[in-house]
Structure 1
């Protein structure tokens, strides 16, 4: 049986982020052949092409973390109708220099949670556009624009009963997507 390591990239630095909580909770819905590990992005310097020849240790770690995985899971908030700058910075670092794109070919899923009624729909669409350019095959359906409201998580931080069915269905499709593309 194959083992699939998944790099989880959370687009929020906030310790108590809804998206960090979602990333941790949804990983428990995956089968045992899948392991999820959050990749730190808060310590990356701002991307500067002048540094491509000698990247910071945190950038080398980011690229190595991605290279060691069979799939990606992006869980992001929406800031000003797009993805947070810290997430875009991480994407830029791992895709550069030209011809050394660590993201390429890695199957991905995109999720997000927000207090807004449309969840993170616009941020997810922007992220999907970026990932398409970077040659990241991204799960298209089901989309998951999740609103943070009472019952999304239970008292232990797990997915709440009202969201369990939908998010389990999303995870089932995601793991099938990764298994198909990582083969």
Structure 2
């Protein structure tokens, strides 16, 4: 049986981002039969429709090929001004253009949001889901994952130390992979 390949898009491009630490934790819990890989969005130039009619940046092509090769996508995002970070929105735009060549199309997805406040990325989570609906990405609806005060979840080595959250994320990953298997051919 061929392994199912799942991409992880980390919404923050900050070097020590909590969302990156969450991604690393999920990768460490990858069940047999699957691979999880982070897809970098930090070096994508801002989407510009002019590129659709001329030579696109090489980073666009590389990114689009990586996303297209994945069987599903996990989005892990912080909240910026009650929405997703600009880098994440840009990645969605780059992957969905030019019109008719949406590399996100039909890929089952999973959304995890977090914040350093008690709001836990609720606004980002739901703004992202609006875009995912338009991009034709079936999203796991339950469990919903909102991680508040995420700065308290990790030790100095970047390891997840909140045992209840670790268990919840591990079980949620399994739930997502079961959900995604219904869409993966």
Query: Fold-level match, TM-score > 0.5?
Result: yes
For 1:86 and 1:32, how far apart are their aligned partners in 2? 31
Provide, for residues 69-116 of structure 1, a one-character-per-residue CA deviation record: whole Å limited to 9, x for no partner. 101011111000000111111110110010000000111011122111
Q: Is 115-124 or 125-134 further displaced after alignment?
A: 115-124
Q: Which residue of 2 aligns with 1:106?
A: 107
Q: Which residue of 2 aligns with 1:91?
A: 92
Q: Which residue of 1 aligns with 2:131?
A: 130
Q: Is 98-107 or 31-40 further displaced after alignment?
A: 31-40
For 1:177 and 1:101, how far apart are their aligned partners in 2? 22
For 2:16 and 2:171, how far apart are their aligned partners in 1? 26
For 1:181 and 1:21, how far apart are their aligned partners in 2? 27
Structure 2 unaligned spans of 5+: none
Q: Which residue of 2 aligns with 1:19?
A: 19
DSSP-derived class of the 1:163 partner: helix
Q: How big is the alpha-carbon RMSD for the aligned residues of Structure 1 and Structure 2?
A: 1.4
For 2:43 and 2:165, how far apart are their aligned partners in 1? 33
Alpha-carbon shift at residue 154 of structure 1 (Å): 5.2
For 1:60 and 1:167, how far apart are their aligned partners in 2? 32
Alpha-carbon shift at residue 27 of structure 1 (Å): 2.3
How many residues align? The count is 182
Alpha-carbon shift at residue 182 of structure 1 (Å): 0.8
For 1:27 and 1:179, how far apart are their aligned partners in 2? 18
Structure 1 unaligned spans of 5+: none
**Structure 1 residues 149, 58: CA separation in 2 closer, same or farther (over 3 Å shift)?**
closer
For 1:100 and 1:71, how far apart are their aligned partners in 2? 17
For 1:17 and 1:165, how far apart are their aligned partners in 2? 21
Provide, for residues 27-86 of structure 1, a one-character-per-residue CA deviation record: whole Å limited to 9, x for no partner. 222312111111111111111101113211000001000111101011111000000111
Alpha-carbon shift at residue 162 of structure 1 (Å): 2.6
Q: Which residue of 1 aligns with 2:154?
A: 153
For 1:132 and 1:94, how far apart are their aligned partners in 2? 14
TM-score (norm: length of structure 1)? 0.94
The 5 Å alignment of 1:138-149 reads 138-147=139-148, 148-149=150-151
Alpha-carbon shift at residue 169 of structure 1 (Å): 2.1
